[in-house]
Amino acid sequence: MTGGGLLVAGTTSDAGKSVVTAGICRWLVRQGVKVAPFKAQNMSLNSFVTREGAEIGRAQAMQAQAGRVEPTALMNPVLLKPGGEQSSQVVLLGKPVGELSARGYHGGRQQQLLGTVLECLAELRGTYDAVICEGAGSPAEINLRRTDIVNMGIARNAGLPVLVVGDIDRGGVFASFFGTVALLSRQDQELIAGFLVNKFRGDVSLLEPGLDMLHDLTGRRTYGVLPFRHGLGIDEEDGLRISLRGAVRESEVSSPVGEDVLRVAVCAVPLMSNFTDVDALAAEPGVVVRFVDRPEELADADLVVVPGTRGTVRALEWLRERGLARALVRRAAEGRPILGICGGFQLLGEHIEDDVESRRGQVEGLGVLPVRVRFAREKTLTRPVGEALGEPVEGYEIHHGVAEVTGGEPFLDGCRVGRTWGTHWHGSLESDGFRRAFLREVAAAAGRRFVPAPDTSFAALREEQLDRLGDLIEQHADTDALWRLIESGAPQGLPFIPPGAPA
């Protein structure tokens, strides 16, 4: 028996597809429905490693957590990781299979992956009661429709009803809804079941006449109006957003436990990946996290984080061009705290031998840590566990660079010299005891009277946030009608809205 399904599409990128998908997953699992998320093709530098050692988008890992299931490669069979303006690494079923230009991918490779994508979706639907799929961008990208495998391409092939999400906070949501439908072919329009308004502020009764007119124009209903809520952008695909910082700051602001706050500056390096690593820092009461791109912004920071990047050599050049490299070297010499994660760890070393990512050969690093890095063609994808600062730690690794540590004190898989730490482990700061021990060391080195809160649980905060998403769906969407869509598909006899897709 095949489980039910739904595709959550959007009028634009960042309309709220990821969080709506997560919210529906959390609502369903609370009703006792066995549910899985799915995104056929994801473009993101924020990724995660599953227990079987597969790399998928972090958004799908978050959605799996919303559904209380273990994430797998089936949930995101194609992941594109941009390496610049012209090309991306293609990760298929959790493993990298090569680099392709946008023209090469959309010119034929994408369509070749449709069979694999459909097989993954069919396997999930054979295992779960419901599969909630997330689209990408807009389903009305008419220039890409011929090779589409993530929006109407998969909806048509799998017979999925489509719910279109629109961000009313941007304005123009009615035109966006109507135009999205009107630019689709007759066969595609037959699957567009209706709309979901996201990020509404104000009195819903003032919106209702517009929803009625939209129904008259399109023959399609609106399944809910979700109110604007701060801090719900958890595990974004890309963009400079810090999810839990937003949630903590914009809801009830927690005062620091000690007398001082702790200031964290994150270097906003190019092709920054897994910037979600700092979410756990931002979740701590009294920790202020900001992204920076100028050396003077490091001056008052108690901790500087150099995050992961898809372009380690490019990030190194960027740091030098902006004067941040000199500021980091000076900071290390002064014994002021620095944490390098993954690519940020690699560029703090002595030199990098890269014939894989940038193909620049040997490049001198910042020389802060006694580490030599060689880029291997095989990518390391692991879920390590260990101990540091007397506390248990869990993390995940996603990198081509192989580090040879020649000195310093051991620190996870990397090393520590003075007040500079380096590791390949993403997610280590989500281990509560380790995070508190690390922040105590940082505060002592910075001379701050900062005390970590003894009871901050990152996992509990994440669960609270996912429950808030489920509450939004349960309280502000027509859940009975949503379930009918998932179980039975799009309503029959939906009208065609001209002009339809161009020939």
Calculated CA dihedral for residues 487, 493, 494, 497, nearest 10 degrees:
150
3-state SS, residue 427: coil
User: Could you give the CA distance from residue 12 to residue 155 in angstroms, rounded to a whole number?
Assistant: 17
Catalytic hit among 25, 342, 424, 476:
342
User: Could you give the CA distance from residue 26 to residue 132 in angstroms, rounded to a whole number?
Assistant: 11
Q: Is 120 a catalytic residue?
A: no
Separation of first and last alpha carbons in the chain: 37
Q: Is 230 a catalytic residue?
A: no
Catalytic hit among 399, 400, 424, 426:
426
User: Could you give the CA distance from residue 377 to residue 283 in angstroms, rounded to a whole number?
Assistant: 36
Are 357 and 313 in contact, with CB atoms under 8 Å apart? yes
User: Could you give the CA distance from residue 498 to residue 482 in angstroms, rounded to a whole number?
Assistant: 26
- Let me know if 219 is exposed, middle or buried by CB neighbors in 10 A (0-12, 13-18, 19+): middle
* CB neighbour list of residue 12: distance below 8 Å, 6 or more residues apart: 137, 138, 166, 167, 170, 176
Q: Three-state secondary structure along 11-55?
A: CCCCCCHHHHHHHHHHHHHHCCCCEEEECCEEECCCEEECCCCCE
Can you give the C-alpha Rg of the chain in angstroms? Answer: 23
The set of catalytic residues is: 342, 426
